[in-house]
Structure 1
Amino acid sequence: MSDSPGRASWGRRVRAVVPGLVAAGAAVGLSVLAHLGLPALPVMTLCVALGALAGNVLRAPVRAGHPLRRAESALRPGLSFAGRTLMRAGIVLLGLALVPADLAALGFDGVAVVAAAVGAAFVGTWAAARLFRLPGDEPVLLAAGFSICGASAIGAMSQARGTTRDASTPIALVTLCGTLSIAVLPLLAGWLGLGPLTFGYWAGAAVHDVGQVVATAQTAGAAALAAAVVVKLVRVLTLAPVTTVGAWTARRRAARHGTDGARQPGRRAPLVPLFVIGFALMVAARATGLVAPEALALAHLAQEALLGAALFGLGFAIDLRALFASASRSTGAALVAWAWIALLGLGVAAILSNGSFMV
């Protein structure tokens, strides 16, 4: 009998998250169907867009008792859970996508070139966001998204730093600019006269989200797609060290100011977040070659579903009115960062194409 209150409380928490999780699952299903009809639209981008659309429609009525506002309140706990817990689980499984043989194909020098470009992209994006006076942790989150792997990296960095409240604007910006890359980079490649391999390297080094990389590179054929995926995997590999550094700096800032950001009083951000350790363990597991192909296929499906649901939840928190209110500053920072990373990526593509790097 003594456990009954605890079980009842646990049951209430489960019931509270069910509506949001069902909505997130439905959004992932719709995004997959839309992607099958229009392959140029990545699933993750569609999940963010659907989340932003749903959130802003349900929040539109001013009156708190309006049916749409009640629906928004019912969905919020589950979507917050998705954006937090399912994001962490999806990032862990993302480690299984890193194929050591593909990374070895670039060689040590090629990996070093891409990693250095990630560092330069991060610093340049952070500086642009600071120059345009983006508030809070938005500069760090925007830098993570633009330099590593789009909205997934923003979610991972926000979890590591405990500042999920600042993630909505960077997610909207990285989604918009990644979609811009799908349209613009192939046109620029034709104007510059880039071959398929060079264009693939460029897409892998310059486009943000993994799905957006695939959508961009596949326009130039299989060779371009293979080159893009290899370079993108190197960028994804930097997620663990970059988020660890992000958690460490947040911890130091909290110690200086006697606070811990959005966390509860008395709790500190872990030096190495558990989901980052899980990501590293999955990378190591894939490197052993002992994970069965069937398990890898299931893990990939689970990763896509978890990240899609998480990004729908994060997109649900995007306030388009607030985003438009600061459109000049936020859009300016994003476009400067997008141009900077496109130039960096072109440099990486030139180096990889002219060096002794093979895919």
Structure 2
Amino acid sequence: MTDAPARTAPDRMGHAKSLIPGLLIVTVIALASSFVAEHYGAPAMLLALLFGIAMNFLSEDPRSRPGIEFGAKTVLRIGVALLGVRISADVLGSLGWAVVALVVVATALTIGFGFAVSRLFGFKNRFAFLSAGAVAICGASAAMAIAAILPKDDRSDERLIFTVVGVTVLSTLAMVIYPVLTGGFGWDDRQAGMFIGATVHDVAQVVGAGYSISDEAGVTATLVKLLRVLMLAPVVVIAGLVIRARNVEPDPEGGRPPLVPTFVAGFVGLAVLNSLGLLPSFVVAPASAASGWALLAAIAAVGLRTVPQQILNVGPKAVGILAAETVFLAVFIGLGLTFAA
């Protein structure tokens, strides 16, 4: 098979110009979501998703479609890669290896639990992995990273949209309920922070729940949450290897999925550099902020590509599996902290 001819400079310029209308729409939605979230306390990811769905007719316009597609794919991968700057060696050192082991085991078991019960809820492996990975790791960000490597079909966006909505709603409920539970269990602030960081899905809700207890609980919860974010790389790499071995989704030119997705390699590389102290603060801070904006823009783009009726097609069983995975994770972490005390 002959290689496709390389793009000339005018071709590249024309392609870049074709992305502008769609990217402007995605950017406006991300800005609006952030503004509303800051002023009214709603989850920015959920707002971006809902605003995008409400304006999904724009994705039918041939002028905006290329930029929206670019936002849902390439911008997503950039956002996940930049998440690596939030990881440092201090995360592991300050928590201790017992907590690290608990989080690693909880991640693996929650994903395994998702696969085990998926058939009971009427789902196959794709939604099982997507939902359980989002619950086990870091909510909407993990869902988008996992969706980026899963074999695509006509329900891929539908599964992603519902997972993002589901984990965001469950995370918001947990932000309110879990601080009360930790007080009822008689845990100290550090244990409460560990529980919240290891069980609440999204970073913003982890911070909100942790600091609602105390500063110590807030700091601990944030560190544990970053440890869960770190689990994103090995989980995606292992899943990518399995998909590649099965050759489920050859690319359009007859190849196979890459051994390690480029965005995962970027995530790991940035995490290693930051852990070694090789990334100065004037790089880390803007890169971390850029990651958040990229993921917000990406989920807005996914929303723009989604027909509202698609969400309803997932059905109540999808709510059941997300809730079951969430309860499993909370019970496992709670038992781990209780017996470790």
TM-score normalised per structure 2: 0.88
What are the residue-to-residue correspondences of 1:36-185 with 2, within 5 Å?
Answer: 36-39=38-41, 41-55=42-56, 58=57, 70-71=60-61, 73-135=62-124, 137-163=126-152, 165=157, 166-185=159-178
Deviation at 1:4, TM superposition (A): 12
Deviation at 1:9, TM superposition (A): 4.0
What is residue 297 of structure 2 aligned with on the other side?
309
Contact 1:28 1:308 in 2 (8 A): yes
Contact 1:201 1:348 in 2 (8 A): no
Out of 21, 36, 43, the residue aligned to residue 34 of structure 1 is 36
Contact 1:182 1:212 in 2 (8 A): yes
Provide closer, same or farther for how the CA distance between residues 168 and 136 of structure 1 changes in structure 2, counting only shifts above 3 A.
Answer: farther
Render the CA deviation track for 1:5-53: whole Å, top value 9, x for unaligned. 84454344323322221122112222222232134x3333332333233
Structure 2 residue ranges without an equivalent (≥5): none
Provide closer, same or farther for how the CA distance between residues 43 and 322 of structure 1 changes in structure 2, counting only shifts above 3 A.
Answer: closer
Please give the secondary structure, in 2, of the residue aligned with 1:140: helix
Q: Which moved more, 1:184-193 or 1:84-93?
A: 184-193
Pairing 1:13–2:15 present: yes
Which letter does structure 2 place at the counterpart of 1:205?
Answer: A
* In structure 2, C-alpha distance between the alignment counterparts of 1:76 and 1:118, rounded to whole Å: 36
* In structure 1, C-alpha distance between the alignment counterparts of 2:138 and 2:209, rounded to whole Å: 14
* In structure 1, C-alpha distance between the alignment counterparts of 2:187 and 2:330, rounded to whole Å: 14
Contact 2:91 2:227 in 1 (8 A): no
Contact 2:71 2:301 in 1 (8 A): yes
Structure 1 residue ranges without an equivalent (≥5): 59-67, 355-359
Please give the secondary structure, in 1, of the residue aligned with 2:201: coil
* In structure 2, C-alpha distance between the alignment counterparts of 1:294 and 1:136, rounded to whole Å: 42
Render the CA deviation track for 1:175-211: whole Å, top value 9, x for unaligned. 2222222233234334444443222111111111222
Out of 178, 181, 186, the residue aligned to residue 179 of structure 2 is 186
Pairing 1:284–2:286 present: no
Deviation at 1:93, TM superposition (A): 1.2
What is residue 245 of structure 2 aligned with on the other side?
252
Q: Which moved more, 1:208-217 or 1:163-172?
A: 163-172
* In structure 1, C-alpha distance between the alignment counterparts of 2:258 and 2:205, rounded to whole Å: 31
Contact 2:89 2:276 in 1 (8 A): no
Which letter does structure 1 place at the counterpart of 2:74?
Answer: T
Q: Which moved more, 1:238-247 or 1:149-158?
A: 149-158
* In structure 1, C-alpha distance between the alignment counterparts of 2:286 and 2:7, rounded to whole Å: 37
What is residue 299 of structure 1 aligned with on the other side?
287
Contact 1:133 1:329 in 2 (8 A): yes
Provide closer, same or farther for how the CA distance between residues 20 and 216 of structure 1 changes in structure 2, counting only shifts above 3 A.
Answer: farther
Query: May I ask how many residue pairs the two structures share in their alignment?
Result: 333
Q: Which moved more, 1:4-13 or 1:157-166?
A: 4-13
Q: Percent identity?
A: 28
What is residue 332 of structure 1 aligned with on the other side?
320
Please give the secondary structure, in 1, of the residue aligned with 2:249: coil
* In structure 1, C-alpha distance between the alignment counterparts of 2:93 and 2:6, rounded to whole Å: 55
Deviation at 1:69, TM superposition (A): 7.1
TM-score normalised per structure 1: 0.84
CA RMSD of aligned residues (A): 2.5
What is residue 321 of structure 1 aligned with on the other side?
309
* In structure 1, C-alpha distance between the alignment counterparts of 2:38 and 2:203, rounded to whole Å: 17
Deviation at 1:162, TM superposition (A): 4.2
What is residue 198 of structure 2 aligned with on the other side?
205
Pairing 1:274–2:262 present: yes
Deviation at 1:80, TM superposition (A): 2.0
* In structure 1, C-alpha distance between the alignment counterparts of 2:45 and 2:189, rounded to whole Å: 25
